[in-house]
Amino acid sequence: MGKPANGKAGAGREVTQAEWAAHEARQPTGLVWAVVTTGIHCRDGCPGRPLQRNTRAFATRAEAEAAGFRACKRCGGGG
Ligand SMILES: [Zn+2]
């Protein structure tokens, strides 16, 4: 699978400012952070720092993977 195009790995919802602020502050949010430009999903506190506009939030790892995202190799993925 290459980069997500229209559809598959572009699912999820946009991250809110409040959620993003918590993520940047490395506070636990319980969300799965999926990055549309890389096709991976991360947990809270992952050292990866994607742009907010490239990031989507999922409630569970299963939802992120169903949308075509793979677990991050650095943090093991979200959820
Ligand atoms: Zn990660």
pLDDT in tens, 21-61: 998 888 999 999 999 999 999 999 888 778 999 999 999 99
Determine, yes or no, domain membership for 37: yes
Q: Domain range spanning residue 33?
A: 8-71
What CATH number is attached to the domain comprising 35?
3.40.10.10
CA of 34 to the centre of ligand 1 (A): 9
Task: Please give the Cα distance from 31 to 4 (Å, whole number).
Answer: 20
Q: How many domains does the chain have?
A: 1
CA of 7 to the centre of ligand 1 (A): 22
Q: Is the pLDDT of residue 63 over 80?
A: yes
Tokens of 7: 């559809």
Determine, yes or no, domain membership for 3: no
Q: Are 61 and 43 in contact (CB under 8 A)?
A: no
Q: What is the pTM of this model?
A: 0.83
CA of 6 to the centre of ligand 1 (A): 23
